[in-house]
Amino acid sequence: MSTIEVRTEGRRAVVTGPPRLNMTAAPQLREVLARAVAEGSPQIVVDLGETTFVDSSGLGALVGGLKTARQAGGDLRLAAVSEQVMTVLTLTSLHRVLRPFPTVEDASREW
């Protein structure tokens, strides 16, 4: 199982995505995102700088995390999205919902 790292800074959590966000890693990501919100950090940036692959399970985990964050008054944003992952987001039109930013700092700027 991939290790997903979390760094909490007040109401913001920065989650480092795994190299492959697939059906193996997606359950762990769901758990990490839900825990961040439950512990008071509903503003989440998922850093996908090291993630080169995402499948439907991974997309589902991201969308689920977005829903959880928004229900708690926060948001979920993506940072450092690779070209391969951006292609998947664009093909599924999820780039309109899961807002990608060039860096974690850019994604966090409005917070």
CATH superfamily of 5-108: STAS domain (3.30.750.24)
- Digit-by-digit pLDDT tens for the chain (111 residues) are 568 999 999 899 999 999 999 999 999 999 999 999 999 999 999 999 999 999 999 999 999 999 999 999 999 999 999 999 999 999 999 999 999 999 999 999 988
**DSSP secondary structure letters along the chain:** ----EEEEETTEEEEEPPSEESTTTHHHHHHHHHHHHHTT--EEEEE-TT--EE-HHHHHHHHHHHHHHHHTT-EEEEES--HHHHHHHHHTTGGGTS-EESSHHHHHTT-
CA distance 108 to 111: 5
